[in-house]
A = this chain, B = another copy of it.
């Protein structure tokens, strides 16, 4: 993934750079990190709570949290001085992952589970929310099936 010595620039016409999905996955792309983020969204903040909830090996959790803090996605802060205790909180950058996690969740709900999906509801009216694409210009909204042209992420072509 790092050694592209013998590559001709075949891929340059396709997307002219490593693609930001790859960049995102450099931070999130291992078996645990997204689950850690999911827990963080749920409000989990402490080392042992992550560990217990995920059933993850301690050294791995230590390393992942460190990476996430370095990446700027979590913030490690002392929440108790005298027995020094830390908690990990979402930074704005981490919180910005919510659409990604929601999309993953909805996909799993739709295609993988028989159980009733976790619906997101509109706080003010209690009706279910949908995740969609919106064109502020035309004031049109459409779900993914209706979107056709996406430069850099071309559809089935």
Residues of A at the B interface (CB closer than 8 Å) are 1, 3-4, 7, 10-11, 14-15, 17, 19-25, 27-31, 34-35, 38, 41-43, 52-55, 72, 89-90, 93, 95-113, 115, 117-125, 127-138, 140-141, 144, 147-157
Contact = CB atoms under 8 A, between A and B. Distances in A.
Contacts of A118: 20, 150-153
B127 A136 contact: yes
Given A90-B156, A110-B96, A134 B132 contact: yes
A22 B17 CA distance: 30
Contacts of A27: 112
Contacts of A95: 155-156
